[in-house]
Amino acid sequence: MANRSITLTLPHPDDTDRLGAALGQQFLRHSSLLASNGLNLRLDGTLGAGKTCLVRSLIRSLGWNGPVKSPTFSLVESYLLLGNPFNHFDFYRFEDPMEFEDAGFRDLFGPGMICATEWTEKAEPFVPAPDLSISLAHEGLGRRAELTAHTPAGKAILSGLHGDGPADA
């Protein structure tokens, strides 16, 4: 399967939250697919690009009412969403990719697991490949998001966003 990408302009900071909510709606729409296959979401971008904000709004859109903490210091924060574990990782503090293996994080990926990873490159080659990657970059006062589907599961999520800006979600 060829990768499929879309690029969205997010001119206002709230648009990043709307994109997270739109992703959440696609997760709900494809919940049986996520339950059987799982989903790996890779987030790329510099510090302050909006990776954690996007995941926070995604988690909230799936019905989580408790705190949504950044995993910068804990490395992983886990939630039960759609009846499945949702693991939000931040590998920023890794000094060696082997830390991924040593921590046993591989066990938190797989069928029925939804995983969002930040600073994924610091855990390569050990972190499983993404189904969907999102690259966020500052653009004026807002951001630009490039979403790329790498698998049929990623393509299913992306297809529901194609042509719909976050404001339409």
Residue 1 has pLDDT above 70, yes or no: no
What is the pLDDT at residue 168? 36
φ and ψ at residue 156, rounded to 5 degrees: -60, -45
Residues 52-95: tens digit of each pLDDT? 999 999 999 999 998 898 888 899 999 998 888 999 999 999 99
What is the pLDDT at residue 7? 93
What is the pLDDT at residue 164? 40
What is the pLDDT at residue 165? 41
47: left (phi over 0), alpha (psi -120 to 50) or beta: beta
Residue 163 has pLDDT above 50, yes or no: no
| Residue 87: CB atoms within 10 Å | 19
Q: Looking at per-residue confidence, does 139 or 169 come out higher?
A: 139
Using CA atoms, how far residue 57 sits from 13, 60, 61, 75, 106, in Å, is 12, 5, 6, 19, 25
Quote the CA–CA distance of 115 and 106 in Å, as a whole number.
11
Q: What percent of the chain is modeled with pLDDT above 70?
A: 94
Mean pLDDT computed over 117-123: 96
Q: What is the pTM of this model?
A: 0.89
What is the pLDDT at residue 71? 87
For the record, the structure tokens of 110 come out as 């797989």
Question: Where does 8-168 sit in CATH, by number?
Answer: 3.40.50.300
Residues 27-54: tens digit of each pLDDT? 999 988 888 999 999 999 999 889 999 9
What is the pLDDT at residue 103? 94
Cβ burial, residue 2 (10 Å; 0-12/13-18/19+): exposed
Q: Where are the domains of the chain?
A: 8-168
What is the pLDDT at residue 83? 85
